[in-house]
């Protein structure tokens, strides 16, 4: 229950993208502190193979310290797992003073109910991803993975990422229409979540297709806001991008973090 909140997702923070991290730190100083709550809807980090492995890195310590400073300045920080950082655990969350949210989560902000999700669970046209997801999100598999030595976890995570990138690039080249469908949420899954939660205002990330939709199916209708991913590091190939959604008593609006 908050009078105002600002939401972000898909920053994919990594030491090799310093300008994106720099914009994030600036965002924490300015936009975030102007709200009662900061809600991170997943994929804050490019990948995560366990708190023990990351906690030692100076970059991840710096991110935790900056997040903690936001809490200490009076803005409550929430974190929902994405498909890349779902192994982020309680120990790192404690260090960053973030409260971990379940996915999906209904939250009251500015006297309205908002349905929050990372979004990958709604991409049901991609059957093989959903199969993969149900395996890697199982507590037993996670426990076994976290028992492996760190170097092996990093190796597995990076080979999974490069496989999925290679597969994406192949499909994008030969069947762009398939990428278009598989990479987006489905109307059926979205309607299912709206019905299950009874909440008609949804916010998610993951698809990297920032937008606002008014949708309906089978007598139900709802509004859906999609957050942008962030990239301030490759101006020669990718236009700088990054946004946040601000919810206050005045309503919801998108903050363009490139121009502001
Ligand atoms: Mn994602």
Tell me the pLDDT tens digit for each residue of 154-170. Answer: 999 999 888 888 888 88
Ion ligand 1 — residues with CB < 5 Å: 43, 82-83, 206
Strand order in the sheet with 5-8: 98-101, 76-80, 37-40, 5-8, 243-248, 251-256
d(CA 79, CA 91): 13
| 121 CA to centre of ligand 1 in angstroms | 10
Mean residue pLDDT of the chain comes to: 95
d(CA 23, CA 32): 12
Q: What is the pLDDT of residue 181?
A: 87
- Local structure of residue 13 (DSSP, 8 states): B
| 120 CA to centre of ligand 1 in angstroms | 6
Summarize the confidence of residues 56-76 as an average pLDDT.
96
Contact 98, 76 (CB under 8 A): no
Q: Do the bridges between strand 105-109 and strand 98-101 make them parallel or antiparallel, or are there none, so unpaired? A: unpaired
Class of domain 5-256: alpha beta
Read off the pLDDT of residues 46-58 as tens digits, 9 standing for 90 and up: 999 999 887 679 9
Q: Where do the structural domains in the chain lie, given as residue ranges?
A: 5-256
| 49 CA to centre of ligand 1 in angstroms | 15
| 25 CA to centre of ligand 1 in angstroms | 21
| 21 CA to centre of ligand 1 in angstroms | 18
Read off the pLDDT of residues 71-123 as tens digits, 9 standing for 90 and up: 999 999 999 999 999 999 999 999 999 999 999 999 999 999 999 999 999 99
The conformational region for residue 98 under phi > 0 = left, psi -120 to 50 = alpha, else beta, is beta
The residues that bridge with 144 in the sheet, in sequence order, are: none
pLDDT at 175 over 80: yes
pLDDT tier at 176, thresholds 50, 70, 90: confident
- Give the N- to C-terminal CA distance of the chain in Å, as an integer: 28
Bond from prior residue into 258 cis (ω within 30 degrees of 0): no
Each as own residue / partner, the long-range contacts of residues 208-214 (CB below 8 Å, 24 or more positions apart, any chain) are: 208/10, 208/183, 209/183, 209/184, 210/241, 210/243, 210/254, 212/254
Provide the 3-class DSSP secondary structure of residue 224. Answer: strand
Q: How far is CA 173 from CA 34, 180, 209, in A?
A: 43, 12, 19
Q: What is the pLDDT of residue 55?
A: 66
| 196 CA to centre of ligand 1 in angstroms | 22
Task: Identify the helix (H) or strand (E) that includes residue 105.
Answer: strand 105-109
The residues that bridge with 42 in the sheet, in sequence order, are: none
Summarize the confidence of residues 26-34 as an average pLDDT.
97
d(CA 54, CA 31): 27
């Amino acid at each position: 229950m908050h009078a105002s909140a600002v939401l972000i997702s898909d920053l994919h923070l990594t030491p090799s993208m310093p300008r994106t991290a720099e914009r994030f730190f600036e965002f924490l100083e300015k936009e975030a502190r102007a709200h009662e709550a900061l809600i991170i809807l997943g994929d804050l980090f490019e990948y995560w193979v366990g708190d023990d492995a990351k906690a030692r890195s100076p970059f991840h310590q710096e991110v935790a310290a900056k997040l903690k400073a936001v809490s200490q300045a009076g803005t409550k920080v929430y974190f929902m797992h994405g498909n890349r950082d779902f192994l982020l655990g309680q120990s790192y969350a404690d260090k960053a003073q973030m409260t971990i949210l379940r996915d999906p989560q209904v939250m009251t902000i500015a006297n309205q109910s908002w349905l929050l999700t990372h979004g990958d669970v709604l991409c049901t046209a991609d059957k093989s991803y959903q199969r993969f997801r149900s395996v890697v999100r199982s507590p037993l598999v996670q426990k076994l993975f976290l028992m492996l030595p760190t170097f092996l976890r990093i190796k597995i995570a990076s080979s999974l990422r490069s496989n999925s990138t290679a597969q994406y690039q192949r499909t994008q080249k030969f069947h762009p229409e398939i990428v278009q469908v598989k990479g987006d949420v489905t109307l059926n899954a979205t309607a299912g979540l709206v019905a299950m939660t009874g909440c008609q205002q949804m916010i998610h990330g993951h698809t990297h297709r920032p937008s606002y939709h008014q949708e309906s199916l089978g007598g139900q209708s709802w509004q859906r806001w999609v957050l942008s991913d962030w990239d301030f590091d490759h101006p020669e190939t990718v236009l700088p991008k990054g946004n946040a959604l601000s919810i206050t008593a005045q309503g919801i609006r998108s903050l363009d973090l490139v121009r502001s």
